[in-house]
Structure 1
Amino acid sequence: MGVPAETGNPADPDLPFSFNAYCLRHECIYSPSGQGPSAPPAPRRFIAVKPDGVQRGLVGEIIGRFERRGYKLAAIKLVTASKEHLQKHYEDLKGKPFFDGLIEYMASGPICAMVWEGREACKVGRQLLGATNPMASQPGTIRGDFAIDVGRNVCHGSDGVESAQKEIALWFKKEEINSWPKVDERWVYEK
């Protein structure tokens, strides 16, 4: 049994079942309309729920906020990072008076590392998180609702496209990041 052309509609009931298995094995990405392969993956953003957020049981709430906004979870894992790994992650803060305390704190417990995908992922993700200092965050933001002190501000989020790419590569292997067609994208984005 041959594999249908890549421009076929995977939802077509006349296609053999093995086509779906082929798509899963080869990570085919199809548009919801069935008009062939979709556009390349949307911009990605790295988000980490810090040890205080994990300990307080906020992981599900944070995931829910990104999902309800329309973003797609492309990767997730719960890790306790080494100090060396965290020093690479926060290398731009080396030399700051709080650096050693930050590394110690971040290594003190599990971190929920995630990759989120979608239009304006970095810009809107920053809005969802709120200001780094929770006391300057608006109510309705993650930090505005769940944090008080800057040293326990629940989440880390990449601050731009370049830092997102760097942080994603530091925390995830390429094969750990999933590209998948989200069925509600046409209800989230106009085009």
Structure 2
Amino acid sequence: MNRLELTFAILKPHVIKQPLAVEKIRNVILTSNFKVVKSKRHAIQLHEAEAFYHEHKTKFFYKRLVTFMTSGPSDFYILAREDAIRKWRQLMGPTKVFKTQFEAPDSIRGQFGLSDTRNATHGSDSPESVKKEIGLFFPQFNIEQWYQLDEPKFRLNQIEFIQENFVHIIK
């Protein structure tokens, strides 16, 4: 088995307001062989949203996106599996929800996305983004240390799943 890859995922505020949607998406995560390395529910503060979406600051949708993302709690996950970044993005479906509802209706965004801003989920698009985004929302998490110490145990399934915290821990 190849080394596991980390990715960063967010379930956005409108999804968190729908417990059945959260449950369905969490089931997709688990049945797609992702390991949940870290999990937390957190209401994004304005400074966090501005830092997270800094690259979009000059775009027309920036204010709407920041306002939406600070409107209520979101779920944040560090996920692991082989080819995690590509696989999570595939499960989410395209960013543009209207297009997604036709091209990938069974994707997460196809089922739970409402608009391009309220598209249900976020996923890192590169290893560099993973590092940056994990650093913003899980500042105590040491990626290099995880790969050194924990990745082999996760890869060999020496873990157990804690349902109430939606996280895998090392046995």
TM range (shorter): 0.7 to 0.9
SS where residue 44 of structure 1 aligns? strand
Quick check: 1:51–1:108 contact (8 Å CA) kept in 2? yes
Aligned-residue CA RMSD (Å): 2.3
Pick closer, same or farther for the CA change 1:69–1:170 going to 2, 3 Å: same
Partner of 1:168: 134
Contact kept in structure 2, 1:134 and 1:149, CA below 8 Å: yes
Distance in 2, Cα, partners of 1:87 & 1:109: 15
Contact 2:134 2:141 in 1 (8 A): no
The change in CA–CA distance for 1:174 and 1:143 in structure 2 (over 3 A counts) is: same
1:64-117 CA deviation, whole Å, 9 max, x = no partner? 111101111000000011111111111111111110111111001001011100
What is residue 16 of structure 2 aligned with on the other side? 54
* Deviation at residue 125 of structure 1 after TM alignment: 0.7
Determine if the alignment matches structure 1 residue 139 to structure 2 residue 105.
yes
Q: Which residue of 2 is the match for residue 157 of structure 1?
A: 123
Distance 1:148 1:104 in 2: 16
1:183 aligns with 2:157: yes
Higher percent of residues as strand = 2
With normalisation by structure 2, the TM-score equals 0.78
Q: Which has the higher helix share?
A: 2
Percent identical across equivalent pairs? 28
Q: Which sections of structure 1, spanning at least 5 residues, go unmatched?
A: 1-37, 186-191
TM-score normalized by the length of structure 1: 0.70
Match of 1:97 in 2: 60
Match of 1:152, SS? Answer: coil
Larger radius of gyration: 1
Give the gaps of 5 or more residues in structure 2: 160-171
Aligned ranges 1:4-83 → 2 under 5 Å = 42-57=4-19, 58-83=21-46
